[in-house]
Structure 1
Amino acid sequence: MTGFFLKNANVINVKTCTVEENKLLYIVDGRFAETSSPIGADEPVIDCEGKFVSPGIIDAHVHLVWDGTSPDPMTDTLADGDFVCFAKGCSNANKSLKAGVTLVRDVGSCNDTAIPLAASINRGYIQGSRVIPCGGAIQGSYGHCPMIGTICDTKGELIKKIKQLKGAFIAHRIAPPHWIKIMASGGAAGLEDLGPCMYSVEELEAIACEAHRLNIKVAAHALSYDAISKCVYAGIDTIEHGAELDEELLLHMKAHGQTWVPTVAVYKVLSESRGVVADIIVDKSEGVTKKQRAIFKKAMEIGTQIMMGSDAGSANFGPHPSGLMEMCVMEDYGMPKAEVLRCSTYESARILGVDKTLGSIEVAKVADFVILAANPLEKGAKAYIEDLCAVYKLGELVK
């Protein structure tokens, strides 16, 4: 066994949002281990005096094949092709990891590119954040961002695609949990109408039923009330964006264990991007931002599950990672800094289904963590931006 110690560590307990002061941590074979024995004379020791040790950040909504610097990533995807997009994904996963974002859920990629990308990272061919890949986003013919999706217009096509994705996860040795993504409405960053739900209630129920039968969870891009309500009542697991959520839907989601991934930062940026992106995108984003700010407070009051996701890679959003920006905007919208951190670590791990191995600093869990020069429970997301000292993945120093 190969191991090392962290001494005098102020450990961030993201379950209780407290600091456990002057702890001794032992990392062996990539996991946190018991520290009952004294430190041996020849064992490596890192002194964390005055520093804070936190689990890595989890971003539950990214697009690794987009780099976030383009005003039109959709056109770029078509021009670049799958190989260049795969290379972009490698670069963006690496940038994310070095910034302390140790796990992402990729919710849309051209020709399911995120699946072999995740496999390549898992096998050590590429250094990058861990990736939970959804493959291409399933959508109808008139849908949102078809270049990072798969067109399915009938119940039969939907069920076939879900089975194909399950097969791809197995073929690429992607361990559970498995997730897929559907586009249930139009998007702000596109020319299409936001309003009508892309799929009928019967089709959405078929998606949820088939996916859950195969032990797959479902994320739904949904901005309009029509799309959100149909997805919520059909049993979809996470609602992405959710601009027109209301109190009744939030209460239903709380009662049924469903989760909202707000992605508030991207719409704020798009609403301020007039002259860079198309006016119709700015106009729609302004409306989304206004609605999200109001319903975000209501969701906190009700106690609906919220998971941090940034939509990293989107038009004019800036280079990966964007999760730390998302955390800052969540703080601006009224969520306490400690709760934002919990939603971006342990809660995300629990909702995604990886909390047995990731998301908090505990014995037997994987040693994906960061060392900070400031307390993130007090300073918030800015501690990860301004005070990042080191990043570790599987107990190995990344930065």
Structure 2
Amino acid sequence: MPSSENKTFTLKAAGLLDIDKGEVVRPGILKIQGDRIVGVGGKPEGDVVDLGDLILMPGLMDMEVNLLMGGRGEVAETGQMKDDPPLRMMRAVGNARRTLRAGFTTVRNLGLFVKTGGYLLDVALMKAIDAGWVDGPRIVPAGHAITPTGGHLDPTMFGAFAPHVLNLSVEEGLANGVDEIRRAVRHNIKHGAQVIKTCGSGGVLSHTGHAGAQHYSNEELRTIADEAHRRGLKVAAHTHGADAVRAVVEAGIDCIEHGFLIDDDVIELMVERGTWLVATTALADGMEVLEQATPELKAKAAEMFPKAKDSVLAAYKAGVKIAVGSDAPAIPHGKNALELVALVSRGLPELDVLRGATTLAAELIDADDRGRLAEGLLADVIAVPGNPLEDISVTQRVKYVMKGGKHFTG
């Protein structure tokens, strides 16, 4: 496929999604030079890639993934102890490739919670992808998730390990108290993190405590926000419970991940403060990992998931800014578009869901070079077999992927 830096070529399709106007423009003509879009509409120029009846769209974005976890060959119960960093990186290459070929050209990798010796594997993966060594989406890396001992993102929690099994360091995100938290955040920033991920409450897979229980103190949460914001980074917090979400929002943290148990009062506060929500609502339709879960964890899911289906619609109606995130590998890598389908099934309009995976996602990560098909922006383009404004499920059947002017098989 054409991708010369010096020659203009054209993608031609049956239509093109104008995400700002909320309509499909026919026919779809997109002119590419190097890694940029240089024209929309008009007569084709240079070589033409004819995509027939497909509809062109901006590359999709997933604001909650962990490419270093899940994927082929990982065993959830023992992987934390058996899989060393080189093996995780090899698996992550496959996860990244599947994510890109599913049409997701940008992701936030939200927080390692694995033992790495302090290395930021997602930063390394980002660099390898940016250098063209491996195929994958553009990555906004968080480094290690910042979590207290026994917090939801403490990896020893998921396996209910005995004391001293898989000891973790501050450089691996396990931080208690203000001083350790500052050190953990600074370690991430020093080594390339572009966003900070923290643990605001328990979760479905936490073996102890209520899923909505607040894990860090108010002072500790403020410390995370302060340390990140002074360096120009945003903070995302895994948080479910309404009281915990309130504490996180009042601490100045920018984005709530999940928020399954938020109520109207907290939603109002999120609107007032401009706090984002990445709802990961497809999880409420079931998680593969729960098939082998204990009865206690299944009971927790049965309590939380129905509330999650209602809370995202309430947040949307109130005006909370919602960006799309799948929480892969809780949703399998490469199946990220399940989240778009789930959001529409909750009652959100197709156009606003698509914006949550394009223009709004770009706003969340402060990227003004992507998210729409417009002159001067990155040539991150996908093509789907139908109008996504009428049938969101076409995003699950991506037939063509381009990232930065380079063609990838859909």
Would you say same fold, with TM above 0.5? Answer: yes
Q: Which residue of 1 aligns with 2:404?
A: 394
Q: Which residue of 1 aligns with 2:10?
A: 5
Do the aligned partners of residues 72 and 252 (structure 1) sit closer, same or farther apart at CA in structure 2, a change above 3 Å counting?
A: farther
State how far apart, in whole Å, the 1-side matches of 2:291 and 2:131 are. Answer: 43
Cα deviation, 1:23-71, whole Å, max 9, x if unaligned, reads: 432100111003699656xx21123443210011111101112225789
Could you tell me how far 1:186 is from its partner in structure 2? 1.6
Q: Which residue of 1 aligns with 2:246?
A: 229
Among candidates 365, 388, 394, match of residue 383 of structure 1? 394
State how far apart, in whole Å, the 1-side matches of 2:342 and 2:13 are. Answer: 32
> 2:408 is aligned with what amino acid?
V
> 1:326 is aligned with what amino acid?
E
Cα deviation, 1:288-317, whole Å, max 9, x if unaligned, reads: 211111212211211111111111013xx4
Could you tell me how far 1:195 is from its partner in structure 2? 4.1
Whether the aligned pair in 2 keeps the contact of 1:268 and 1:285 (CA below 8 Å) is no
Whether the aligned pair in 1 keeps the contact of 2:246 and 2:269 (CA below 8 Å) is no
Q: Within 5 Å, give how 1:1-399 maps onto structure 2.
A: 1-7=6-12, 9-34=14-39, 39=44, 43-67=46-70, 73=76, 75-109=78-112, 110=114, 111=116, 112-147=120-155, 150-169=173-192, 178-193=194-209, 194-270=211-287, 275-314=291-330, 317=331, 319-354=332-367, 356-380=368-392, 382-386=393-397, 388-399=398-409
State how far apart, in whole Å, the 1-side matches of 2:80 and 2:7 are. Answer: 43
State how far apart, in whole Å, the 2-side matches of 1:74 and 1:206 are. Answer: 33
Whether the aligned pair in 1 keeps the contact of 2:28 and 2:56 (CA below 8 Å) is no
State how far apart, in whole Å, the 2-side matches of 1:364 and 1:101 are. Answer: 20
State how far apart, in whole Å, the 1-side matches of 2:355 and 2:11 are. Answer: 23
State how far apart, in whole Å, the 1-side matches of 2:140 and 2:290 are. Answer: 33
Question: Please, what TM-score do these two structures have when normalized by structure 1?
Answer: 0.90
Aligned residues between the structures: 383
Cα deviation, 1:3-29, whole Å, max 9, x if unaligned, reads: 211235511012232112224321001
Could you tell me how far 1:130 is from its partner in structure 2? 1.2
Do the aligned partners of residues 212 and 198 (structure 1) sit closer, same or farther apart at CA in structure 2, a change above 3 Å counting?
A: same
Could you tell me how far 1:235 is from its partner in structure 2? 1.0
> 1:2 is aligned with what amino acid?
K
Cα deviation, 1:222-269, whole Å, max 9, x if unaligned, reads: 112232111011111110111221112112211222111111112321
State how far apart, in whole Å, the 1-side matches of 2:178 and 2:51 are. Answer: 56
Cα deviation, 1:159-202, whole Å, max 9, x if unaligned, reads: 11111111111xxxx7xxx2110011122123121243121111
Do the aligned partners of residues 206 and 33 (structure 1) sit closer, same or farther apart at CA in structure 2, a change above 3 Å counting?
A: same
> 1:32 is aligned with what amino acid?
I
> 2:189 is aligned with what amino acid?
K
CA-atom RMSD in angstroms: 2.1
Whether the aligned pair in 1 keeps the contact of 2:145 and 2:199 (CA below 8 Å) is yes
Q: Which residue of 1 aligns with 2:159?
A: none
Kindly, what percent of the aligned residue pairs are identical?
A: 28
What is the DSSP-based 3-state SS (H/G/I as helix, E as strand, rest coil) of the residue aligned with 1:219?
strand
